[in-house]
Amino acid sequence: MPDVEMVSVPTRILTTKDDIVDIVEKYTKGKIGENDVISVAESVVAITQGRIVRPEELKLTRVALFCCRFIPDQGSLASPHGMQSLMNVEGKWRVAFALFAGFLGKLVGQNGIFYKWGGEQTALIDDVTGTMPPFDKHIVYGPKNPQDVVKRLKERLGCFGAVIADVNDLKRSRIVGVTDGVDGSKVAHLLIDNPFGNASQKTPIVIIKNFKQYQR
């Protein structure tokens, strides 16, 4: 059985002018086979979808200014700008309610309620500094319709499957979108060492060679 292998694919910096499927096809031409899984970094998919905003463009509400104070210092929602960007897409009262419910949940030992009830973007938003330049000065949302994106990737590339992954150097690896037939948890495990690289490395695409055989 051939070994599973990770192939990082460097690209130029992708922007809102790019289509992620076209880009992945262009940069992986001749490198990807029918047994492989293509994985794409979540923030880069979001950037190509235009899902970014600069803090200076946000109109901060008092609710965002208030709520962000309850998020631990290191979190992307700890700044009023990160919190406001979340409220703009998920609704400010929904987020505020989820935060309050999360607080009550913690009192009785129930964690994660805020992220569960606050909307899918709650865990996906990256505040400034969270992405490579020139997007380090932007808040980057999670991708829109990730299931649709991975489906289009698989169809265009003719590979075994496709995933959108949220991975960082702190050993966090999460699958945001995955095609049918691919075990997302196995892909997440393979990506745990962050083959995308961090900060200024321009490798938003990783080909997982021979994943089909590995998964069996």
Paired with 39 in beta bridges are 163, 206
CA–CA separation, 22 vs 100, rounded Å?
43
DSSP-assigned states of every residue in 30-85: TT--TT-EEEEEHHHHHHHTT-EE-GGG----HHHHHHGGGS-TTSTTSSHHHHHH
Give me the least distance between CB of 128 and another protein, in Å please.
Answer: 5
7, 36 contact by CB (below 8 A): no
Give me the least distance between CB of 60 and another protein, in Å please.
Answer: 5
Binding mask of the shown chain, residues 21 to 60, with x at each position contacting another protein by CB under 8 A: ----------------------------------xx---x
User: In the complex with another protein, which residue's Cβ is closer, 44 or 58?
Assistant: 58
In the window 118-157, what residues touch another protein (CB under 8 A)? 128-129, 133-134, 136-137
Contacting another protein (CB under 8 A), which of 22, 65, 93, 145? 65
Binding segment toward another protein, per CB under 8 A, in 30-38, 63-71, 116-124, 160-168: 63-71
In the window 147-206, what residues touch another protein (CB under 8 A)? none
Torsion angle defined by CA atoms of residues 45, 188, 89 and 155, in that order, rounded to the nearest 10 degrees: 40
151, 144 contact by CB (below 8 A): no
In the window 74-103, what residues touch another protein (CB under 8 A)? 74, 78-81
Contact positions vs another protein (CB under 8 A)? 55-56, 60, 65, 68-69, 73-74, 78-81, 128-129, 133-134, 136-137
